[in-house]
Amino acid sequence: MSRVGKYPVAVPTGVTVTLAGKTLTVKGKLGELKFDTTDDIETNVADGKVWVKVKNDTKRARSQWGTTRATISNMVKGVSQGYKKVLDITGVGFKAQAQGKKLNLSLGFSHDIIYSVPEGIDVKTPVPTQVEVTGANRQRVGQVAAEIRSYKRPEPYKGKGIRYSDEFILRKEGKKK
């Protein structure tokens, strides 16, 4: 039995949740998100809470139960508070600059990398060595941050590259004579 799925998702004030068929729509101050539920899951919206229940007791239905509840909870939090990932850039001459819907990365290559930011995601550079990725959709915020990080992953000897602000780089000792 799912320990996550049996608890309801509380809907805060300022957020509206509507259910049309299998499509669940969550609207808030930061945007609108939609989610299509599977045939094995039944969702109900009542008294400012979203309840998720299993229609039939199969292994697939039980596995989707907690996942569906967690996704709905992430959507509600995303449209009310939003999600944010902070990336730190370490290295001599490494920097980033946000220009509208483009992110210009100088990472020591012979050319600058220009990353096109997808719709629904905001990228800011408060300082040239820090990138803030924000948005309402948790999956997309994490995906954009991972794509930016993949251009220059942190290396273990000096720690140069792009890393998450809360990431710890296990440093290696260099060569000895």
Q: Residue 171 falls within a domain, yes or no?
A: no
Q: Residue 175 falls within a domain, yes or no?
A: no
Please write the tens of the pLDDT for every residue from 14-54. 999 999 988 999 999 999 999 999 988 999 998 889 999 99
- Same domain for 74 and 88, yes or no, is no
Q: Last residue of some domain: 56, 80, 104?
A: 80
Supply the pLDDT for residue 57: 86
- Same domain for 35 and 103, yes or no, is no
- Same domain for 143 and 76, yes or no, is no
Q: Residue 35 falls within a domain, yes or no?
A: yes
The total domain count for the chain is 2
The whole-model pTM stands at 0.88
| Domain encompassing residue 44 | 9-80
**What stretch of H or E contains 101?**
none
Please write the tens of the pLDDT for every residue from 64-111. 999 999 999 999 999 999 999 999 999 999 999 999 899 999 999 999
List, as one string, the DSSP characters of 108-163.
SSSS-EEEEPPTTEEEE-SSTTEEEEEES-HHHHHHHHHHHHTTSPPPTTT--EEE
- Same domain for 76 and 87, yes or no, is no
- Same domain for 49 and 73, yes or no, is yes
Q: Residue 1 falls within a domain, yes or no?
A: no
Answer whether residue 2 shows pLDDT above 70. Answer: no
Residue 37: give its domain's CATH number. 3.90.930.12
Residue the block writes with tokens 């273990």: 156
Q: Last residue of some domain: 51, 80, 109?
A: 80
Answer whether residue 4 shows pLDDT above 90. Answer: no
Answer whether residue 5 shows pLDDT above 90. Answer: no
- Same domain for 68 and 88, yes or no, is no
